[in-house]
Structure 1
């Protein structure tokens, strides 16, 4: 009896108390998260803080960056109509690119979801293929196709007499919007396709058996269920389009500036780093406010619908 009692006492002492076990389990993830947290702070937070601080410095043509706190750069942005036009152009291009990506990407995702193997994998590879190619190479491809008199499409259309002169594509907002929509299309398709994975295909069959037409099924059943994917994909496409640099700089050139190309020019051409930092910070703040506001509206809308 004494031996069994001692074994039982040893086992009870080896098992930690419930409170201690919960506290140790709650502390366990923090050492695992510490390396990623340090990397995030070093790569994201510190550069952002330095950029924000730089935007409040002064700059002179002969003195360079002056380490004094001033609102000169922010006052210049708010008082000059040029910056209003530039930011309006940036968000207008991003909005149109998002609209085109949604109009073409949602049907593409629906058709892809209805396909069977092996065609589904083949066309999914085609849709994702552009992501494996540099955005610069894709944008230069558009420039080679529609670039003035030397563009392949313009030359072919003029050769057969369809058009008298080249279609204006380079250095135009329409060209930037089309190229950006092509570059961002996979993100929209993937977002809508992920939403379609949660839709039971038998719902469509049930609606057909009850006499619903195909347009009614699309409008009343499919569209409401994929709308979260469309909206989340729209947020991604809009944010990436508004902050894009390569496509607007190649297609738009120096004649058609957006926020990203303007910040680049201020940093590397005029060397006015504080003004370029102010433009970059303002673009970041605007995108954060738009994304957070859109998420809040979407969540509130769908919480009311599915309540």
Structure 2
């Protein structure tokens, strides 16, 4: 009886583990193996072990620029999401019902809409001389000529920030639930100004939430496909759209697999390193 009780958790988790292996582990292993195969325009894919694809990815400046652009965009998206999302979460936490629920729905609204629909909406706003943003800026006299948003890093960063902002807000809001409002009131009663309260009390408490949200936003921004593909187009490729082109346009599956695996490995390394930083921060603040 005791043996059955000990094995019950493993038996109950077995279907989920089998499903995870079938849809994640096995395709991932096949992709890694595919990255070491050879390919030719006339001979197709040859199942031989070669390092040609990896050598090309690491030595060709074209691929290095794609990855540098990918992580540069992800960094600025994460920075914008933190700068805008943390104050949003703090204001939301201080709201009373029913305004809190209403504004929470507004913040989570982008998650309820398809990412393609959201990105197409930004494409309409950005659209060259006829875009609503440029029309509004010109009519207000803030700019003399339309600004280029489509097919630029700026446009991709703005659209991705809007798409991923809710993740940062939710992460910071969760951290704010641990903060006792009476601590802020006590600091004010002792003569601390609003800026001092935010800097010395609120910010250290919510920093783990900001770091957690930054991990999520960075990983999603670096691996995003729909938004860079629509806003960036073929003129502004990132790692995900580069892998897509290698798979479906040039049909060089081994090279596309190498790009995809390298992006995954880089993201895992960054996320694991950042997660350790978050755990250390949590231990300092709440330990």
When normalised by structure 2's length, the TM-score is 0.96
Quote how far apart the aligned CAs of 1:24 are: 3.3
Q: How does 1:92-241 map to 2 (within 5 A)?
A: 92-159=72-139, 161-241=141-221
1:265 corresponds to which of 240, 245, 259: 245
Between the aligned partners of 1:131 and 1:160, the Cα distance in structure 2 is: 31
Between the aligned partners of 1:120 and 1:299, the Cα distance in structure 2 is: 29
Quote how far apart the aligned CAs of 1:209 are: 1.4
1:42 corresponds to which of 18, 22, 32: 22
Partner of 2:228: 248
Between the aligned partners of 2:106 and 2:223, the Cα distance in structure 1 is: 25
1:263-305: CA deviations, max 9, x gaps? 0000000000000000000000000000111112332344356
- Structure with higher Rg: it is 1
Between the aligned partners of 1:111 and 1:305, the Cα distance in structure 2 is: 22
Between the aligned partners of 1:207 and 1:71, the Cα distance in structure 2 is: 61
SS of 1:28's partner is helix
Quote how far apart the aligned CAs of 1:162 are: 4.0
Would you identify which runs of 4 or more consecutive aligned residues in structure 1 move more than 6 Å?
A: none
Q: How does 1:18-37 map to 2 (within 5 A)?
A: 21=2, 23-37=3-17
Structure 2 CA distance for partners of 1:302 and 1:167, relative to 1, 3 Å = same
When normalised by structure 1's length, the TM-score is 0.90
Between the aligned partners of 1:119 and 1:161, the Cα distance in structure 2 is: 35
Question: Relative to structure 2, which stretch is displaced further, 42-51 or 150-159?
Answer: 150-159
Between the aligned partners of 1:160 and 1:74, the Cα distance in structure 2 is: 51
Q: How does 1:60-99 map to 2 (within 5 A)?
A: 60-99=40-79
Structure 2 CA distance for partners of 1:291 and 1:206, relative to 1, 3 Å = same
Between the aligned partners of 2:279 and 2:10, the Cα distance in structure 1 is: 30
Between the aligned partners of 1:85 and 1:288, the Cα distance in structure 2 is: 20
What stretches of structure 2 of length at least 5 have no aligned partner?
none
Partner of 1:292: 272
Query: Contact between 2:208 and 2:281, CA under 8 Å: does it hold in 1?
Result: no
What stretches of structure 1 of length at least 5 have no aligned partner?
1-19
Structure 2 CA distance for partners of 1:215 and 1:157, relative to 1, 3 Å = closer
Quote how far apart the aligned CAs of 1:166 are: 1.1
Backbone CA RMSD of aligned residues: 1.4
